[in-house]
Amino acid sequence: MKRIVFKVGSSVLTDTNSIAKERMLNLVSLLAEARKKYEVILVSSGAVAAGYTALKLDRNQHISKKVLASAGQPILMSSYKSMFDIYDVNTSQILLTEDDFDSRTRTKIFQQIIDTTLENNILPIVNENDISTTPDQLFGDNDQLSAHVAQYTNSDMLIILSDIEGYYDSNPKDNPNATIRKIVNKIEDNELTQAHTPNSQFATGGIVTKLKAGEYIMNNNKEMFLCSGFDLTTAREFLMKGIHNKGTLFSKKDN
């Protein structure tokens, strides 16, 4: 069975002051369906935004942001739990930092935890542990974290669910004539060094971190698919029917 990592961004999971329950439920329903065909790992953002639903601290302040994350992580997980319960899917919470990938011993432990979790039919939900860590222990965005998770769990593909339909030839929020690039097999240096453009106040990545994730994934001979997390039709068709309609596939393989 192929193994797939899904990464979902804050913009999909949260509205201004609350968890976007309908979108989360749609995601959970897709993951429950995907589990019939694939081993599924979820990397979920949204803890800081979920924390903000309970207390209004300034997320730009170092300590306040950690407090928001620590308050938000259980809110996020309990929302996931109640939705996955509908599909009888058990979940686990795995919080990681960059350090978890920098030593063979720690990385092996992480691999074994994921393998055993999946063998026991539990869906692991991974997030960055930005609560008790220093900034240099963190990736800072879940795009690159999820690419590392895909690599070290021997996954075949990373699916990034974002607030855009794919990777465009220019920022679609600025240029209404931008067109989606369907397949990308090489990312140029200037694309990786462009200004960061996160779309929502809780988003940390923007397109650049997704491109860095894509570069890492392709360098490791894996594939990444970037598509909408708002309308999951594209992801569902791609995964369940092998139809590539919208969305961008990052792949060095001949497609």
Residues in touch with ligand ADP (CB under 6 A): 9-12, 162-164, 167-168, 170-173, 197-200, 203, 205-207
Least Å distance, CB 245 to ligand ADP, is: 17
Using the minimum distance from each CB to ligand ADP, give the nearer residue, 156 or 163.
163
Question: Cα–Cα distance between 170 and 45 in angstroms, integer?
Answer: 25
Shortest distance in whole angstroms from residue 210 CB to ligand ADP:
7
Residue 142 CB, shortest distance to ligand ADP, in Å, is 7
**Long-range residue pairs from 11-15, CB within 8 A, at least 24 positions apart, any chain:** 11/162, 11/163, 11/199, 11/200, 11/202, 11/203, 11/229, 12/161, 12/162, 12/163, 12/229, 12/230, 13/44, 13/45, 13/46, 13/49, 13/50, 13/76, 14/46, 14/49, 14/50, 14/53, 14/200, 14/202
Supply the minimum distance, in Å, between the C-beta of residue 227 and ligand ADP.
Answer: 11
Residue number, 173 or 253, with CB nearest to ligand ADP: 173
- Residue listed under structure tokens 């999909």: 12
Least CB distance to ligand ADP at residue 10 (A): 5
Q: Considering beta carbons, is residue 124 or 166 the nearer one to ligand ADP?
A: 166
| Residue closer to ligand ADP (CB basis): 46 or 89 | 46
Report in angstroms the alpha-carbon separations of 78 from 91, 95, 122: 10, 15, 16
Nearer to ligand ADP, 28 or 118 (CB): 28
Residue number of the CB closest to ligand ADP reads: 9
